[in-house]
Chain A
Amino acid sequence: MAERTESGFLGGIRREFTTQTWALIPVGVALSVVAAYVVNVVRVPFLYLDALGVVLVALLAGPWAAALTGVFVNVVEGFLVNPTFWAYTPLQVAFGLAAGYMARRGWFRRYWKVVVVGLVIAVISIVMGAPITVLAFGGVTGTGSDAVTTFFRATGANIWSAVVGQTLVVEPIDKVVTVLLAALVAKRIPRRYMPDTAARVLDREE
C-alpha cells in the first residue's frame, strides 16, 4: 500500500484504496443488488434503491471507490438480473463521484444537506439517464416507470419530454430516499466497525 504521507490528487485516490476498501466494494455492490429485494418486501412504489451501495461506499471509503462500486453494480446486475443494466453504468459512476466528493466536503452532516445531495444525484440521473433511455432503449425501461412515460406521451409530449417528465417524477423520490437511507444506516454503524476512510455523517443535527 502507498505511504500515508503521499499527497496530491493521485495520492488521495491511492489512500482511499486500503485493503479494507477493496473488501468493502463487493459489499456495496451486493447491497445495491439485494436492496431491490428488500424494497420488494416493503413495497414502496417508484423506489429502486440501486444506488444505495454506491452512496454507502462513497460515505465509508470515498468518491473513487464509490465510482468503482458503481461500475460493478451494473456489471453484476447485468450478469444476474438483466443485461440492459450494462447501458446505465456511467450513471452509477457519476453518482459515486458526486456523493463521495460531497461527503468529503461535509454535505452529509445535516439532514437538509443530505436531501440536497439526493437532489444533485437525481439531477445527474436525469441529465445522463434520459439520453440513454431514449437513444438506446427507445424511451422504455421495462419497469413501472413506463406507465408514467406513457401518461406524458398521452398528454401530447414528444418522446424526449415524456422520458424527462418520467424521470422528473421518479428520480428525485428514489434518490433522496436512497441518500437519506444511506446516511441513516451509516450513522448506525458502531465506531469500531467504521473504516478509517469514512466521512462524517449526521453529526451536526439539531
Chain B
Amino acid sequence: MSALAGYQRGESVVHRLHPVTKVTLLVCCVLGAYLAPPVALVALLGLLVCSSAVAGVATSVGRAALPILVPLALGLLAIHGFFRAGSGAVLASVGPLTLWRDGVAYAISFLGVLTAFVLAGLVFVSTTHPKKLMTGLTDAGVPRKLGYVFVASLQLVPDLRRRAERIVDAQRSRGLDTRGSVPSRVRALVSLLGPLLIGALVSTQTRSLALEARGFSLDGPRTSLYALSSTRLDWALRVGGVLGVVGLAGWRLL
C-alpha cells in the first residue's frame, strides 16, 4: 500500500470551488457514469480530463489512476472477453482460448464507467484539502465530531505506518520469522499488530485528555480558520450536476 493520490496545492478554479459543490459533483459524476449512454460517457470522461488539466493535477491523477485501472482492465478482459460469447462473433482465438467480440465490447464499456469513477474520485481528492472539506461539510450541518474523525484518521495513517515500519524492524532484529510457513507468518502478524495497537491506544488516552482540555465535548458554535463561500459558479455547478443526473435517470426509465 502506498499513498498514490493526495492533495496537490493549487489556486485553480477547481481548487477554489466550495467543497460541498465538489462532493455534489463527485456523486453526480459517479452516478452519471453508470446511467449515461456511451456518447455521454465519453463526454464525461473528456470533462474529467479537462478539469484535471485546468487544475494542474493531470500528471499526478494519471500516475495514480494507472495502477488502479490496469488491474481492473485486465480483470474485465479476462472475465468477460474470454467468457461472454454474446452473438458469437470471434475477435481472435489462440489455442483453446477465444476472445469474443461482444465480451471485449462489454469489458471496454464497463472500463469506461470505472475510469470515470476513478478519475472523478482522484480529481476530487487531489484538489480538495481535507481540512477545507471538513469545514465545508461542518458548515453544511455535518456534526463536528465526524469532521474530527475524518481529519484525524487521515493524519494518523502516515504516523501509524511509520510506527509499523519501526516495529517490523525491531521484531525482525529479535528474530521474527516473516518468510516461514503460512501459520508461522500469521503468528508473526500478532507480534507485529500487538505493539502497534497498544502503542496507538496509549496515545489515544493522551489524545482524549488533550481533546477534553480543548472543550471537545462542549456544545456551542465554533469559529474556523477557513472562511468558505459559495459563488454563483458553485450554485450553477450544483444545480447542473443534479439536473444532469436526474435527466439521465429519467432517460433511462423512459
Contact = CB atoms under 8 A, between A and B. Distances in A.
B193 A185 contact: yes
Contact of B208 (A22, A44, A78, A80): A22
Interface string B207-228: 1100110001100000000000
A141 B71 CA distance: 8
B153 interface: yes
Interface in A73-108: 75-76, 78-84, 86
Contact of A30 (B160, B185, B194, B201): B160
A137 B156 contact: no
B186 A177 contact: yes
B237 interface: no
B198 to A, nearest CB: 6
Interface residues of A, number: 66
Contacts of A49: 189
A188 B199 CA distance: 12
A177 B168 CA distance: 20
A112 B120 CA distance: 44
B79 A80 contact: no
Contacts of A190: 198
Given A56-B197, A79-B125, A153-B79, A27 B118 contact: no
B1 A37 contact: yes
B80 A138 contact: yes
Contacts of B125: 78-79, 83
- The main secondary structure of chain B at its interface with chain A is helix
Contacts of B47: none
Given A84-B114, A84-B118, A193 B156 contact: no
A29 B130 CA distance: 16
Given A23-B208, A24-B204, A189-B198, A146 B75 contact: yes
Contact of B178 (A42, A82, A154): A42
Interface string B116-150: 01101110110000100000000000000110111
Given A72-B153, A86-B121, A27 B4 contact: no
Given A35-B193, A42-B189, A81-B1, 4 more contacts: A27-B197, A44-B186, A60-B201, A188-B194
27 contacts: A19-B212, A22-B208, A24-B201, A29-B149, A30-B156, A31-B197, A34-B161, A38-B164, A38-B189, A39-B189, A41-B168, A42-B186, A72-B150, A76-B150, A76-B153, A78-B121, A80-B154, A84-B68, A140-B75, A140-B76, A140-B79, A142-B72, A149-B79, A153-B79, A177-B186, A189-B197, A193-B198
Nearest 8 Cβ contacts at the A-B interface: A83-B121, A140-B75, A30-B156, A26-B152, A146-B75, A29-B153, A138-B110, A23-B208
